[in-house]
Amino acid sequence: MTTLYGIKSCDTMKKAMTWLANHNIEYTFFDYKKETISADWLTQMLAEHGLAIVMNKRGTTYRKLDDETKTLLNDEATPVSQVIALLCANSSMIKRPILTHGKRSIVGFKDSDYETFFA
């Protein structure tokens, strides 16, 4: 089963959706804005890719955080459960798209990366 996670209005998401459609790959779409991210799924993504890859620091949600919260998110001593709670509460701080296919996943979108991922 293939699932694409993200926010429908995101330009990068649109590119990923177009790529999947052009390659006849069926997928389920999980909208961060309409559905609740599970802590278990997020724990899995963090274990596989790391916080630096999964957390979106370029978006307005992250930039609007107070300095204390940013420090907390960037401190390796912060318990993972606390980081997960913050990301679940602010799902637009999770990079997009995240694509899962079976037991594998990929964060972000590049044509060449998707080609390799599905090869």
Tell me the pLDDT band of 65, cut-offs 50, 70 and 90. very high
Task: Quote the CA–CA distance of 46 and 39 in Å, as a whole number.
Answer: 10
> What's the pLDDT band for 56 if we cut at 50, 70, 90?
very high
Domains: count for the chain: 1
Is 88 designated active site? no
**Structural domain boundaries enclosing 10:** 2-118
CATH classification of the domain holding 92: 3.40.30.10
Continuous segment of H or E residues that includes residue 5: strand 2-6
pLDDT for residue 83? 93
pLDDT digits over 77-117, tens only?
889 999 999 999 999 999 999 999 999 999 999 999 999 99
Whether residue 97 contacts residue 2, with contact meaning beta carbons closer than 8 Å, is answered with no
Distances (CA, A) of 24 to 27, 42, 118: 10, 27, 12
pTM: 0.91
Residue 76 confidence (pLDDT) above 90? no
Residues of the chain with pLDDT > 90: what percent?
A: 88
Predicted confidence at residue 63, as pLDDT, reads 93
Cβ neighbours, 10 Å, residue 34: 10
Out of 3, 7, 10, 59, pick the active-site residue.
10
Mean pLDDT, the chain, whole residue set: 94
